[in-house]
Amino acid sequence: MSAKNTGVHNVMEGFVFTRIDEIYNSIQKEKKSGSEKYKNFCCCAQCRIDAACYVLNRTKPHYIASGRGVIRTFHDSFERQQIMTDISISAYKAIEMISRNNRRPECNHELCEGEAENAKEVFFYDVPAVVGRVLNGSSFTPMFDVKIELLSAGNLVKMRNENWQNPCDLVKDMEGTYTFWPEAEETEKPGEEKNFNYTIKIEAPGYETVNYNFSISSKSVTNSYRGFSITEAYKINDIYLFHV
């Protein structure tokens, strides 16, 4: 089998782009309020990408295979905290450097910044990741060789990105733990609430099929590229499988 670049992902990308956007958005806000402090800072899309590349080139990549290892990656919250702090420091450095002397000369920054400001604001229902465990009903041990689907009105729910697979196949080293991260849904206004109704369908040969229904309420927020956060994930009670 080939290990071509399918389903391998550097989880740092999400963190870095989120942080860079957060910092640029706050700079942009301050500039709009008339502050002189960031007068020479450009917040256009090209400068944001350049800043993100600067940080990513100086950050140790952390690769995971699709749908695997996400839990383990964020298991050590101290390590995660440290990584986030390093990214923030590096991001401030990158933004300052790019704004002061590394703007791309060939790009019309005034124009792209103007466009960015006039761009229609987009809002999303930013549904959190869903996390749960599947255990054997008689031995209470984690299950594997299990197929899990996240369904909405009978259809497979589209995932946020290639890190998440739906259906998800539980293998032995996943210790019975599955995660799904539904795609964010675009909407018109901020602060609107919507209930998302889901079914988790679990199938394993020799076991009774389980359909577990739940709903997540989400409030629409303004567009942002958020990193995956296990602490913000929606946790589902353990599900037990019983022999047919």
Return residues touching Zn ion (CB under 5 A).
42, 44, 47, 109
- In our burial notation (b when 16+ CB lie closer than 10 A, e otherwise), range 193-213 reads eeebebbbbbebeebeebeee
Q: Which is nearer to Zn ion, 42 or 94 (CB)?
A: 42
CB 100 within 8 A of CB 40: yes
Amino acid (one-letter) located at 203: E
CB 24 → Zn ion: shortest distance, Å? Answer: 10
CB 120 → Zn ion: shortest distance, Å? Answer: 20
CB 98 → Zn ion: shortest distance, Å? Answer: 8
Q: Which is nearer to Zn ion, 115 or 208 (CB)?
A: 115
Q: Which is nearer to Zn ion, 31 or 226 (CB)?
A: 31
List the one residue out of 71, 61, 66 whose CA is nearest residue 8: 66
Crossing angle, helix 12-32 and helix 77-101, to 10 degrees? 50
Q: Token digits for 101?
A: 């002397």
CB 115 → Zn ion: shortest distance, Å? Answer: 11
240 CB-near residues (< 8 Å, 6+ apart):
134, 135, 136, 137, 140
CB 14 → Zn ion: shortest distance, Å? Answer: 22
Alpha helices in 58-108 (DSSP H): 70-73, 77-101
CB 88 within 8 A of CB 192: no
Q: Which is nearer to Zn ion, 8 or 97 (CB)?
A: 97
Q: Which is nearer to Zn ion, 109 or 194 (CB)?
A: 109
CB 132 within 8 A of CB 237: yes
CB 43 → Zn ion: shortest distance, Å? Answer: 7
List the one residue out of 148, 213, 223 whose CA is nearest residue 187: 223
Q: Which is nearer to Zn ion, 116 or 230 (CB)?
A: 116
Q: Which is nearer to Zn ion, 30 or 149 (CB)?
A: 30
- How many CB atoms are located within 10 Å of the residue 88 CB? 16
CB 39 → Zn ion: shortest distance, Å? Answer: 14
